[in-house]
Amino acid sequence: MHDVIIRNGTVIDGTGAPGRRADVAIDDGRITTIGPIEAEVEAATVIDADGKLVTPGFIDIHTHYDAQAHWDTTLSPSPLHGVTTVIAGNCGFTIAPLRPEHGDYLMRMLSRVEGMPLESLQAGVPWDWTGFGEWLDRLDGTLSINTGFMVGHSALRRLVMGARSVGNEASPDEVGAMADLLRTSIAEGGLGFSSSWATTHNDPDGQPVPSRHASPEEMVALAEVCGEFDGTSLEFIPAVGRFPDDRIDLVARMSAAANRPLNWNLIAVSTSPKQLDVMAHNLAASDHAAANGGKVIALTVPCAIQTRLSFQSGFVLDALNGWREPMALPDAEKMAMLADPEQRRQLDELAQGPSPLRGVAKWHLLTVGEVFSDDNAPHVGRTIGEIAAEDGRSTFDVVCDIVLADELQTGLYSPLRGDDDETWELRRDVWRDERTLVGGTDAGAHLDLLATFNATTAMLENACRRRDLLSWEEAVQLLTDAPARTYGIRDRGRLAEGYHADVNVIDPQHIAVRPNEIRHDLPGGAWRLYGTADGYDHVLCNGTEIVRDGEFTAHRPGRMLRSGTDTSGTGVA
């Protein structure tokens, strides 16, 4: 008598080996048999997978579910897209370790840089722990899927340096104190060290977040702490756009000092000559690291991306030349600025100046999405360029008038880029590059900006079902075994006897992303972009079904992944 038997499916085990027809038996949360199981053998639960694929659960190593875990124990919508393990605490933004006097700053910083509504963070997160281990214990046993958390640099810096963490390099004693705090947090289960020097990461006052003020020596010293522990990794954003040479050298030094792989987010795949050059240049950071005793891996999100811009949050817009501080203004002051003709002119002029994201300021290409004023209703679905031409106004004047009528809440959508055959073929080639890893969904963050939480489904739908660019075996390996090996996650990422039973049963003929929607389900009455999928008949985590026919069950069998216990190895060699 088994707990679960999955019968008659095509088992794709995650190693890249050819799929084979087999049955899978599960007991006590682990896989006990893969192969023929006699018909008379019984199980408490039997799943008929005839005509379906049986795969490992997907692993998403770049998410930001740190806060959402407190109010949404399903960690939706990731499990609806076949994800059974996530790594969070990325980019240096974690909510532990914590001291009461720093909670408000960390909360507002997280809201600013990761697009989580402040009212949701205030209403949905208790903010009453101190140590990293205490926080992990609070969440352990409450979630639908397996979770692991990096230890964030900005949190460490704020706790050690207080207000000096912004605008100042750390003294040797402060670096030592941060190293001790990181050491304690990893010993309590943190999976490694994360940080960011991205120009898009600014705090609630419009200043660069604490991690952006660190010296290279501080970065290397903190990375080195990870090398003291088994099963740790590094995650870091060195820059937005083309990496300066000193950043290429820095990531190599960090990885070599820790003897741990360092992954960075994100390589954007595009067929434009300019972006192809940036891709080649940034991927060369991996070659430089390999030649100097390190290992550097670029994350690449496996789907076409459409960005939703909001003048209320200001995220992404604040990366435009001269826009960092204006986008951090309170709503009333920001509206007054946008209403003033001279300040409008100055803002538009600044936006056209040099910045890695200058293309965001091609106002004519933006499409009006969600509106909150009756006056804006006729504009929905139209581009700013069309409206400006019809009205005989400048495109930026049109943008400002629309967002002012909506009190800054308007959703403005950039063009969907990279959904053509040529770009999908290039993505496939990038996935196959040993210097890259599929990841970077940012699930749990940018709740009004991005819908890349559906990337696993988009990859399978486009690369396997629609375009036949990859075999199912290769695609599944990229989503399961590859990230598990990179992070040293024990006994996950494959279907093998003795492994944890994280399992998807997928209908390959119907796997597809469903249209995104706005869902008003956040604490404090806030909303988020949300999307589900077709084709996931069953999703199991640790042998327990958490999704059936695209709907969540009531079970929460997820395990908290702790370094050295649930992870091992990950040395560069």
315: pLDDT confidence band, cut at 50, 70 and 90? confident
Domains detected in the chain: 2-56+508-560 (2.30.40.10), 58-306+423-486 (3.20.20.140), 308-413 (no CATH)
Instruction: For 10-56, write each residue's pLDDT tens digit.
Output: 999 999 999 999 999 999 999 999 999 999 999 999 999 999 999 99
Give me the pLDDT at residue 30, please.
98
Give me the pLDDT at residue 248, please.
98
Stretch 247-269: mean pLDDT, rounded? 97
- Whether omega for the bond prior to residue 172 falls within 30 degrees of 0, making it cis, is no
Give me the pLDDT at residue 417, please.
87
CA atoms within 13 A on the CB side of 137: 10
Give me the pLDDT at residue 356, please.
84
* Confidence (pTM): 0.93
Please say if the pLDDT value at position 573 is more than 80.
Answer: no
37-42 contacts: CB < 8 A, separation 24 or more? 37/5, 37/7, 41/1, 41/2, 41/5, 42/1, 42/2
Stretch 480-503: mean pLDDT, rounded? 98
What Rg, from alpha-carbon coordinates, does the chain have?
23
Nearest in space to 209 (alpha carbons), one of 172, 250, 254, 158: 158
Give me the pLDDT at residue 564, please.
97
Instruction: For 135-158, write each residue's pLDDT tens digit.
Output: 999 999 999 999 999 999 999 999
Distances (CA, A) of 175 to 128, 221, 222, 260: 26, 8, 8, 20
Stretch 87-100: mean pLDDT, rounded? 97
Please say if the pLDDT value at position 571 is more than 90.
Answer: no
Give me the pLDDT at residue 502, please.
99
> In 103-203, where does DSSP find H-type helix?
103-114, 118-124, 132-139, 153-161, 172-187
User: Residue 218: exposed, middle, or buried by beta-carbon count in 10 A (0-12, 13-18, 19+)?
Assistant: buried
- 49 and 503 Cβ atoms separated by less than 8 Å: no
User: Residue 369: exposed, middle, or buried by beta-carbon count in 10 A (0-12, 13-18, 19+)?
Assistant: middle
Give me the pLDDT at residue 64, please.
98
DSSP structure string for 91-131: GG--S-S--GGGHHHHHHHHHHHH---HHHHHHH------S
